[in-house]
C-alpha cells in the first residue's frame, strides 16, 4: 500500500489560474489522476487498510481531502474579487458527468471541518468578507451524498484571528499549544461530539491537525492512550509522503496543494513517485 493523500483548501482563491486557486486545481487534477490510470478511493478505506480492518487492493490509488469546512467546499459562491467559484462538491459532480461513473466509481473527498459555531462566525467576519461562508448547513447533505465525508478538524483551530485566549490561557495561533488533557479534550472531544450530533447516526472518526501542527503530546500520549474517549481512529498532518503500512496512524502524511505541488506537471511527477 502506497497511497498519496492530496489536500485542498476551499478558501485558497487568489485568481483564476491553477496556482492560487484550489477549485481550478481540483478540477484539473481529477482528470490528471484518471488519465494516469490511478484510482480515487475514500480516505476511510486507507485508514481501514492501515489498521488491518479491511483488505482491499489499494495499489495505484489516491485519496482526496480538504480542510477547514468552508461553504466553498459544497456551494458555488462568489469569492471577492475573483467571482463565482465552482465548489469542490460540484466539481466532483462535474467530473462524474463528464467521464461517467465507471471512470472513478469510488470518487470521494473527505472534508475536515471546524466545529465551533462561534469560532466559525468570528473567522468568517475577520478572514472571509463576513458573508457567512463557514456554516454547517451542508454537512449532513454532503455526508449523505456518498461523495463526501465530514471529519474532525478541531473545535476552533486555535486560530490566531479568534478573540481572547483558549482554554486555561492557551495562546492563539498554534496547535502545538494543545499540550495537556484539558486542552486536548476541548479541541478534539468537544469537536467530535458537536459533529456527531449533526451527522447522527453517522460519526466522525478521523482527525486532522490544524496548521499541520503535530504536538508530541497529542501524537504520543493523548491520541493513542485516550481513544475510548475521543473516538478517533487516526490523525493527519502533512508529511509529503504516501501512506504505507508502516505509517504512524497518529501522524499520517498528506500533500498540500500550492505547497507540495504548484502545477499539474508537478502533481504528475509527484504521483509517479508516490504510487
Which domains does the chain possess? 5-274 (3.20.20.370)
- pLDDT, position 167: 86
Per-residue pLDDT of the chain (275 residues; tens, 9 = 90+): 999 999 999 999 999 999 999 999 999 999 999 999 999 999 999 999 999 999 999 999 999 999 999 999 999 999 999 999 999 999 999 999 999 999 999 999 999 999 999 999 999 999 999 999 999 999 999 999 999 999 999 999 999 999 999 888 999 999 999 999 999 999 999 999 999 999 999 999 999 999 999 999 999 999 999 999 999 999 999 999 999 999 999 999 999 999 999 999 999 999 999 98
> How far is residue 170's CA from residue 99's CA, in Å, rounded to a whole number?
49
Closest by CA position to 157, among listed 197, 124, 203, 205: 124
- pLDDT, position 250: 98
Which residues, other chains included, contact 170 with Cβ-Cβ below 8 Å and sequence gap of 6+?
158, 177, 178, 183
- What the block records as the C-alpha cell of 269 is 511527477
How far is residue 50 from each of residues 58, 197, 232, 246, 260, measured CA to CA in Å?
11, 27, 14, 8, 23
- What the block records as the C-alpha cell of 255 is 500533500
Amino acid at each position: 500500500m502506497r497511497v498519496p493523500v492530496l489536500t485542498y483548501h476551499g478558501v485558497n482563491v487568489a485568481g483564476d489560474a491553477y496556482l492560487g486557486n484550489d477549485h481550478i486545481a481540483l478540477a484539473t487534477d481529477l482528470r490528471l489522476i484518471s488519465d494516469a490510470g490511478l484510482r480515487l478511493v475514500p480516505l476511510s478505506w486507507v485508514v481501514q487498510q492501515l489498521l488491518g480492518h479491511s483488505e482491499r487492493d489499494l495499489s495505484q490509488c489516491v485519496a482526496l481531502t480538504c480542510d477547514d469546512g468552508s461553504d466553498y467546499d459544497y456551494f458555488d459562491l462568489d469569492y471577492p474579487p475573483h467571482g463565482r467559484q465552482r465548489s469542490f462538491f460540484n466539481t466532483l459532480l462535474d467530473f462524474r458527468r463528464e467521464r461517467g461513473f465507471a471512470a472513478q466509481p469510488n470518487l470521494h473527498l473527505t472534508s475536515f471541518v471546524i466545529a465551533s459555531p462561534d469560532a466559525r462566525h468570528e473567522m468568517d467576519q475577520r478572514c472571509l468578507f463576513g458573508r457567512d461562508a463557514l456554516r454547517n448547513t451542508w454537512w449532513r447533505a454532503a455526508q449523505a451524498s456518498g461523495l463526501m465525508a465530514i471529519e474532525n478538524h478541531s473545535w476552533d483551530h486555535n486560530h490566531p484571528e479568534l478573540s481572547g485566549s483558549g482554554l486555561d490561557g492557551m495562546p492563539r495561533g498554534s496547535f502545538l499549544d494543545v499540550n495537556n488533557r484539558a486542552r486536548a479534550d476541548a479541541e478534539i472531544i468537544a469537536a467530535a461530539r458537536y459533529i456527531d450530533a449533526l451527522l447522527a447516526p453517522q460519526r466522525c472518526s478521523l482527525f486532522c491537525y490544524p496548521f499541520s501542527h503535530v504536538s508530541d503530546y497529542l501524537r504520543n500520549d493523548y491520541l493513542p492512550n485516550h481513544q475510548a474517549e475521543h473516538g478517533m481512529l487516526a490523525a493527519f498532518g502533512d508529511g509529503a509522503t504516501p501512506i504505507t503500512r508502516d505509517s504512524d496512524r497518529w501522524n499520517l502524511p498528506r500533500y498540500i496543494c500550492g505547497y507540495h505541488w504548484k502545477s499539474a506537471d508537478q502533481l504528475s511527477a509527484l504521483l509517479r513517485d508516490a504510487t
